[in-house]
Amino acid sequence: MDVISPSDGVLSVEAQMDVISPSDDAETRKFYQQLCQCTDYAVRTTYEYFQEDLLYIVENLSLPSLLHELSSRNIPDLEKYKDLQHDRKTLAQDLLQEIFGRGREAVITLWVSLHVLRRDHGSPVLDAVLEELGHRGDSLVEEIVLDKYGHEIPPELRDIQICHKKNLYEESEELMENNPPRYNQGVELYVNPLVASTEYFCQRSENELIETGEKQKEYIKRKENELQHITPNKMFRWSNESRLVPHMVLVSGVPGVGKTTLMQKIVYDWVKGDLYQRFSFVFFFKFRELNRWDKVSLETLILHHYPYLWQQLGNILQDPEKLLFIFDGLDESNHLLNFTSCHLCSDPKQSEHWSQIVVNLVRKSLLNGCSVLMTSRLTRLAPTNCMVFQRIIEMIGFHSEEQQIYFDNFFRDPELAEKAFTYVRQNDTLYTFCYLPSYCWIICTVLSRSFQTTSSDQQVSLLPRTVTQLFAIFVANILSNHSPEKSGAQKLLQSMGWMAEHGVMNHRIVFDGRDLESFHVDNKSKLLSSFLMESEEPVSYSFLHLTVQEFFSAFVHYADYSPEKLQKSLEEAESNDYGHYEMFLRFLCGLSDASTRSLLTGYMDRKADQTSGDVITWLKKSIIEEPKMKESVFKKQSLLRTFFYLFETQNKVLVQESLKTLRRLDLCGVHMSALGCAVLAFILENCTNIFDLNLSKCSIDSNRLERLAPTLKKIVILSLSGNKLPDRACIQLASIIRNTSSLKVLDLSGNRLSGSYLGDLMKALPSPTCRIQELRLAGNILSDSSCIHLASGIRNNPTLKKIDLSNNRLSGPHLSDLLEALSSPGCKIEKLLLDGNNLPDTSCVQLASVIKNNRSLKRLYLSNNRLSGPHFRDLMEALSSPACKIERLHLDKNNLPSTSCIDLASGIRNNWSLKILHLSWNYLSGPHFSNLLEALSSPACRIEMLLLKSYHFSEEEKEEVRKLRTCKPNMTIVF
């Protein structure tokens, strides 16, 4: 929609006064003046160029803040957007379209508004867009135009370019080469994964597929303000981090996330004239095809793939800045590329090892000025020096909405699509991997057969619950459709399985004809193409997906039993601590289940039961050895992996027998994904002897807690500290308390339970089924308004003996509600922690009431408050009351001055119960310190331990303390 006039335009003085506010800083005014100098064409062109970025920014920005900013700059009639019931994306689209329709002034006003909002609502995307817009000026418009229309090239090169594009079009038009066989749903399902700039892969050590799947959603959520989302048409856009337009770009991602398809789509769109026309020639290479070469020159390499360029190749290479080289699949390279190599060459005609050619292109010694786009799996990047790349991008995969779209497009029937997606969403095992397009295809393929061709009674047995069952059904479906002769198919599956196993154990995913011959794989079998993809020139083979290869590597041990080979594989898998064999082991354990194996009846060895027995024996042995290990996070992760293996077996008896001696389960510090919680729930449901469960610092959220809640009925000690649980988790916690009559200790420290839902948790405490004796709520940012809820939970609660409320913000007018409840006759609290609540000395009046009226209270922790003041005397008077039962009192870090020693002496002298007193890090030195020492030395004093650490004691005072130690040999004094 061409609304902005193509003629040059400068805003009038009146219009400028409307756009700029008196409160705008110099940087905003400078940015605005830059925009005013732009032609209408430049304003329109840049606005269209940033359209997708703007959509993302507005969709995730505070809408009220944006509308207020626009209205304050004289963009009227936008209030309607506050009341529209559209989803955020539609609303953002409508708002941006309306602003564009209002013309130049409105567009500039939007840019200025975003520039101002950046201070409080900034994000990497917004920062990058504004930096690019503000710093690149006319060069940005020139580049946009160049990407759209391309360079002027001589007629002789124009003809060869047309020929080149035609050739690439024929190769890439179907975009099907690396997609699963018979997949015909359309490429649009495969090329829209989220692309995010990150170096996250450098930190990974677990199985890349599993870790990415389990952490994807929380990773994106946690890093939302740190990621820069990059659309495919802006991979070579200006980089805010490196302050340049990158020429060397690396795209990473797990297998099946769509890297190859994205590269093919880029080539396809370039050919059609829709993308990167700044490049006059694009060359596409696959590492698996480069492996066949040894020494070769760049010219020879290009001409081998594109022989029709031979007459003009020299001229083409004369302008490197007009060339793009795409190298797909670094992980499939047989050579580790050394990007720090000192061996450099600059002659395209010079023969070098092919890996050196690639390195020299990236290092810019060869064809300096050209651009390189490379892809790789995440695991291959860890040992690779990637600093030579000016931009590293990770493909994260599908969001939930995109997964839903995928299912809708696959099934076509909306009712069936919703039914399938609902089933997947309720199954953490399947849902975890739905971020991968290739996994979506496998899951949809399996579910389409289950939902469409079976009766409702049969569906239960055909619907997968575990990953092993998913792939067993997937393979069984293919075999039933394409293999009338089971004996021939079994032989092929065995030979193909041993090849897969060899690949997994030796980190190989690409096989050639010699591999097929070595493992006796019949490459003429029609069934082969159902599981292997074939590439030409040179011929190579790979499984549909890495996980399919891993499934066959486990399946072959059941299809062709060899105890020696099985033992060797298990030993190899055990020796690797980095998760490389994780899926292999899960499949191996999953196939030990007879019902899962029955899906492939007829293709198993007669001794498959022996394989199952050997695997279960190995699994039991690994479980027995786990408790002996040191409780490091690494070892806890190992234990959790073992739970995954048990989950795949779906063998409840095995769980009970294997874990019958396990009483305490400590997973503190282990990241618990949604799938991990589902697995743990399975373990707890079938292992009722665990009474102590530590899930501190495990990234548990309210949804994951809900998964675990029904399985916590036998838990006596439960720790959920340090999970940053939001206050809405109180609903699940209340349910746990009401339904878990055995729970006695509940640690909820270090969460975020301060809020309106806290009342739900506190209402559960007085319930008849509640048996909680100790409740820890330290570090929850509880405000004084929380005291109302806390009071209702504590008052008349006969079981609660200890409550930790330290390091909150309870100081305030409602603190009296809490202290009143603690003073009530029905309160049985014996230990009360109120450290670090910023309590003022006025609190001492009510604290004194608690001491006098609560006959159960024996331990009182009041450190790190502000109790210094005239009312401190009330607290000490209560301490000397005959009703006082306090045995332990902590008053560290309360800024108590020397005058407080008089009150302390009074409280101590007449107290018969106090045994431990903490007075460290106060200011007790001075003229009244002797009063305190005198009271401590009196025969009536029963104190057994005294802490008096301080920087302020004089040598004389220290000597007096030493005398006290001599006088009271039974009193331990630390100072």
Q: Please give the pLDDT value at position 754.
A: 87
Closest CA to 287 of 204, 348, 377: 377
Least confident of 242-256, 308-322, 650-664, 855-869: 242-256
Rounded to whole angstroms, the Cα distance separating 359 from 341 reads: 8
Q: Please give the pLDDT value at position 626.
A: 54
Q: Please give the pLDDT value at position 181.
A: 42
Calculate mean pLDDT across residues 729-758: 93
Select the CATH number that applies to the domain covering 839-975 from these four: 3.80.10.10, 3.60.20.10, 3.40.605.10, 1.10.645.10. Answer: 3.80.10.10
pLDDT in tens, 335-375: 888 888 878 889 999 999 999 999 999 999 999 999 999 99
Q: 5 pLDDT band (50/70/90 cuts)? A: very low
Out of 13-27, 276-290, 393-407, give the one with best mean pLDDT. 276-290
Element spanning 682, H or E: helix 674-686
Least confident of 95-104, 113-122, 826-835: 113-122
pLDDT in tens, 665-682: 999 999 898 889 999 999
pLDDT in tens, 511-551: 988 999 999 999 888 888 889 988 776 788 889 888 999 99
Structure-model confidence comparison of residues 462 and 225, the more confident one? 462
**What is the number of other CB atoms lying within 10 angstroms of the CB of residue 963?**
12
**pTM of the shown model:** 0.82
State what percent of residues in the chain have pLDDT above 90: 53
Q: Please give the pLDDT value at position 625.
A: 64
Rounded to whole angstroms, the Cα distance separating 887 from 858 reads: 5
Residue 14 has pLDDT above 50, yes or no: no
3-class DSSP state of 226: coil
DSSP track, 471-496: HHHHHHHHHHHH-S-HHHHHHHHHHH
pLDDT in tens, 787-830: 999 999 998 788 999 999 999 999 999 999 999 999 998 899 99
Residue 180 has pLDDT above 50, yes or no: no
Rounded to whole angstroms, the Cα distance separating 900 from 931 reads: 10
Q: Which two tokens stand for residue 506?
A: 């030796």
Residue 183 has pLDDT above 70, yes or no: no
**What is the number of other CB atoms lying within 10 angstroms of the CB of residue 77?**
9
**What is the number of other CB atoms lying within 10 angstroms of the CB of residue 305?**
15
| Superfamily (CATH H level) for 155-397 | P-loop containing nucleotide triphosphate hydrolases (3.40.50.300)
Rounded to whole angstroms, the Cα distance separating 347 from 661 reads: 69
Q: Please give the pLDDT value at position 6.
A: 38
Q: Please give the pLDDT value at position 123.
A: 79
Residue 219 has pLDDT above 60, yes or no: no
Radius of gyration in angstroms for the set of CA atoms belonging to the chain, rounded to a whole number: 35
Calculate mean pLDDT across residues 743-750: 97
Q: Please give the pLDDT value at position 271.
A: 95
Residue 96 has pLDDT above 60, yes or no: yes
352-353/295-296 β-pairing:
antiparallel
The amino acid occupying position 803 is: I
Least confident of 16-25, 140-149, 402-411: 16-25
Calculate mean pLDDT across residues 372-393: 79
Q: Which two tokens stand for residue 548?
A: 């399919």
Structure-model confidence comparison of residues 400 and 604, the more confident one? 604
323-328/281-286 β-pairing:
parallel
| 3-state SS record for 627-677 | HHCCCCHHHHHHHHHHHHHHHHHCCHHHHHHHCCCCCEEECCCCCCCHHHH
Residue 381 has pLDDT above 60, yes or no: yes
Q: 837 pLDDT band (50/70/90 cuts)? A: very high
Q: Please give the pLDDT value at position 211.
A: 53
Q: Please give the pLDDT value at position 12.
A: 47
Residue 11 has pLDDT above 70, yes or no: no
Q: Which long-range contacts (CB under 8 A, 24 or more apart) does 679-682 make?
A: 679/640, 679/643, 679/644, 679/647, 680/640, 680/643, 680/708, 680/711, 681/707, 681/708, 681/710, 681/711, 682/643, 682/646, 682/647, 682/655
Q: Where in the chain is the domain with CATH 3.40.50.300?
A: 155-397
Rounded to whole angstroms, the Cα distance separating 932 from 960 reads: 11
Helix axes 872-879, 900-909, angle to 10 degrees: 10
The CA–CA distances, whole Å, from 530 to 181, 384, 527, 568 equal 6, 34, 5, 29
Rounded to whole angstroms, the Cα distance separating 691 from 533 reads: 51
Q: Please give the pLDDT value at position 204.
A: 46
Closest CA to 857 of 815, 887, 826: 887
∠ CA 209-214-217, rounded to 5°? 115
Calculate mean pLDDT across residues 925-953: 93
Q: Please give the pLDDT value at position 193.
A: 45
Q: 485 pLDDT band (50/70/90 cuts)? A: low
Structure-model confidence comparison of residues 401 and 571, the more confident one? 571
Rounded to whole angstroms, the Cα distance separating 560 from 428 reads: 32
Residue 876 has pLDDT above 70, yes or no: yes
Calculate mean pLDDT across residues 305-329: 95
Structure-model confidence comparison of residues 494 and 635, the more confident one? 494
Rounded to whole angstroms, the Cα distance separating 672 from 164 reads: 51
Calculate mean pLDDT across residues 162-166: 94
Residue 176 has pLDDT above 50, yes or no: no
Q: Please give the pLDDT value at position 205.
A: 42
- The average confidence (pLDDT) of the chain is 86
Residue 1 has pLDDT above 60, yes or no: no
Residue 190 has pLDDT above 70, yes or no: no
Q: Please give the pLDDT value at position 207.
A: 54
Q: Please give the pLDDT value at position 551.
A: 96
